[in-house]
Amino acid sequence: MVLSILLFVEFSKVMARGQQKIQAQQKNAKKQAELKKGGTDQKKSAQAALTVKCSVCMTQMSDLKTYRQHFDSKHSKQPLPPELTAGSSS
């Protein structure tokens, strides 16, 4: 009698998670299928947006304005690189 109750309790624990497990597997399968189709990859698109590289520390930035701010704050004692001096408006 006690053994059957314990087995029932263990079985009910497995069954309670069974539906969630099936749903998680279906969700994961759908996600994997979308990735195989060629969905957007955030890392690749973010890397493509970084077009400017700091000549001192090699940090990548998205535009010259950000590069100028970075250079002024991080490398203020260094002379401005040519790509910033050519387009300086200040």
The pLDDT tens digits for 27-48 are: 999 988 887 876 667 888 888 8
Distance, CA of 80 to CA of 70 (rounded, Å) = 11
Q: Is the pLDDT reported for residue 1 higher than 80?
A: no
Please state the rounded mean pLDDT for residues 51-69.
91
Q: Is the pLDDT reported for residue 90 higher than 80?
A: no
Task: Give the pLDDT confidence score for residue 73 in this predicted structure.
Answer: 93
pTM over 0.85: no
Q: What residue type is assigned to position 31 of the chain? A: K
Please state the rounded mean pLDDT for residues 46-73.
90
Q: Is the pLDDT reported for residue 75 higher than 70?
A: yes
In this structure, the dihedral spanned by the alpha carbons of residues 76, 79, 82 and 85, taken in order and rounded to 10 degrees, is: 70
Could you tell me the pLDDT band of residue 16, with boundaries at 50, 70 and 90?
low
